[in-house]
Amino acid sequence: MGKVEAARGQPDRARSHFQAALDVAPDDAQVRAEVGFQAYRDGRLEDATASYRRALELAPDNAGYWNTYGFLWLLQGNAAEAARAFERSIAIEPSADVLANFATLRSQAGEHDAALALYRRALELDPEDYLNWGNLADGLAASGAPASEVAAAYAEAERRVRRYLALDAGSGYAMAALGWYSANLGRREEALSMVARARVAEHGDPAEIALYNAETLSLLGDAAASERELARARTSGMAEARIRASPVLGQ
């Protein structure tokens, strides 16, 4: 019920249900993790980190919890704690998600070769996920790879996200991703169309959609529109650390 109320945009009701769940099962790792994830969605990173720390005390061999815990430290700018958590997650059970998160950490540190190796490992585990291809393209661009290689990766991401949208035509997040890929491929009009469509899509996290749109508009040179999307992202609960971590917006 907490998750449902959160999806309905009722944070106070959501918190009430989450607290009731904690009252019933304070030592349930999944409950702690769910509460932590909602705290992250609300932009309360310290609360989220504390919840996942407790979840890991209760379930220390859960690779997914370690991945999210590392991601929370990544958002807070603590590279050492993030790396420790990602390495623990990978040691337990490598997944495309944790490899991509670890790659992002390496990329932010300027370790582009290490980042690209991790992105490629993520693709080996999940080659059809458009986000993995988009991550690789972003990593290649950050590393200064040849333009043709960067474009080829964005084209692979574009092909897969279009396939995804054929199955889930109302996904605002996928539309926003397509806008980003289109902008990087020099397709300005399509990118702008995707930004507009993503903004009014049937479903998808409004904060994540707005952040993607802000990056796309910034890349296209429309600073004012990008700032409006950033305001939407903040209003919807986007953490400032996420914005600062953006290679486009965090400069």
Nearest to 112 by CA among 150, 146, 139, 79: 139
Give the Cα separation of 192 and 249 in Å (integer): 18
pLDDT in tens, 4-61: 888 787 888 988 999 999 999 999 999 999 999 988 878 788 999 999 999 999 999 9
pLDDT in tens, 180-209: 999 999 999 999 999 999 999 988 888 889
Give the Cα separation of 251 and 246 in Å (integer): 8
Q: Is residue 189 part of a domain?
A: yes
Residue 239: pLDDT band with limits 50, 70, 90: confident
As beta bridge partners, residue 171 has: 203
User: Is the pLDDT score of 242 beyond 80?
Assistant: no
**Structural domain range at position 224:** 168-251
| Predicted local distance difference test score (pLDDT) of residue 251 | 55
Q: Is residue 235 part of a domain?
A: yes
Q: Which tokens hold the place of 28?
A: 């349930």
Q: Is residue 251 part of a domain?
A: yes
Q: Is residue 154 part of a domain?
A: no
Instruction: For the chain, give the percent of residues with pLDDT over 90.
Output: 77
Q: Is residue 117 part of a domain?
A: no
Q: Is residue 237 part of a domain?
A: yes
**Number of domain units in the chain:** 1
| Predicted local distance difference test score (pLDDT) of residue 244 | 79
Q: Is residue 85 part of a domain?
A: no
Flag the least confident range among 9-18, 114-123, 225-234: 9-18
Q: Is residue 195 part of a domain?
A: yes
C-alpha distances in Å from residue 216, one per residue of 70, 116, 171, 190, 212:
26, 22, 17, 11, 6
| Predicted local distance difference test score (pLDDT) of residue 250 | 67
